[in-house]
Chain A
Amino acid sequence: MDKPKFVYVTYIRSTREKVFQALTDGDATRAYWFGYRIESDWTVGGPLRFYNPEGQLVHDDRLLAYDPPATLSYAWKPLQKGFEGETESRVTFTLEQAGDQVKLTMVHDEMMPGGKMLGAVSGGWPAVLSSLKSLLETGTALERQIPRHE
């Protein structure tokens, strides 16, 4: 296994159940993920999709691990223009209780060497995770837009 390329950690004053729900619920992701909706029937090996704020399918992913409220992992395959030649990478969320907070670790790895995904994800995830934290702790998501790749 190659070394993970990106590791992000945030502490959220919440429960693992609530954080896990926010990661897997389409209405919740729309609120903090800048309008993007996740959708899956949560069968491991089955499809997992992302729709942009206009309702277009922008990700055709595969669910790799689903173990609520501890682990969520999916193959990451954007359909947007410019990513046609990219092989799928992998996103893994790990949730641990740390006192009254949840330690949420997000690893994005198995990216194609020299691919565009390396540069594309480095700016986006901290914004998504900060917005998730804000939504769960204060009830309000952040308004920042993530870079669009249309």
Chain B
Amino acid sequence: MDDVFKALADASRRQLLDRLFDRPGQTLGELCQGLEMSRQAVSKHLAILEAANLVAAVKRGREKLHYLNPVPIHEIADRWVGKYQRAALDGLAALKSELEKDEDNG
């Protein structure tokens, strides 16, 4: 999980993820087009994103196609956001049973 946050803590890498979201399956060459970064820099950023599992690479012939992999971000959301929602629902359930109990007594 540290890898994911570290990989996301860089504007250039987030820009690469945005580009892969807009157009999945790009090669390194395609990703470099129209960017200020050098090919070497893009390649380095991609390696960090791949290590964090935020980018999935698929080989097709001699090409390597890159895809945004949202699964680690989903796992982070489940870990904190999902838990928070569950706690809120549990809270509501407890409130409901508490109020209904009062009603029974009253």
Residue A127 at the chain B interface, CB threshold 8 Å: yes
Number of interface residues of A (CB under 8 A): 21
- A10 CB to closest chain B CB (Å) equals 5
Q: Bound complex: CA of A52 vs CA of B65, how far in Å? A: 34
Assess whether B67 is in contact with A4, with CB atoms less than 8 Å apart: yes
For window 48-84 of B, CB contacts with A under 8 Å fall at 53, 56, 58, 60, 65, 67, 69-75, 78, 82
Q: Bound complex: CA of A9 vs CA of B51, how far in Å? A: 12
Assess whether B71 is in contact with A129, with CB atoms less than 8 Å apart: yes
Residue A107 at the chain B interface, CB threshold 8 Å: yes
- B19 CB to closest chain A CB (Å) equals 15
Q: Bound complex: CA of A144 vs CA of B74, how far in Å? A: 11
A interface majority secondary structure: mixed
For window 9-28 of B, CB contacts with A under 8 Å fall at 24-25
Residue A148 at the chain B interface, CB threshold 8 Å: no
Q: Bound complex: CA of A107 vs CA of B53, how far in Å? A: 15
Given A126-B70, A130-B78, A5 and B24 contact (CB-CB distance below 8 Å) = yes
Q: Bound complex: CA of A134 vs CA of B82, how far in Å? A: 13
Assess whether B24 is in contact with A142, with CB atoms less than 8 Å apart: no
Given A143-B86, A144-B78, A8 and B25 contact (CB-CB distance below 8 Å) = no
Residues of A at the B interface (CB closer than 8 Å) are: 1, 3-11, 105, 107, 126-127, 129-130, 133-134, 142-144
Residues of B at the A interface (CB closer than 8 Å) are: 24-25, 53, 56, 58, 60, 65, 67, 69-75, 78, 82, 86
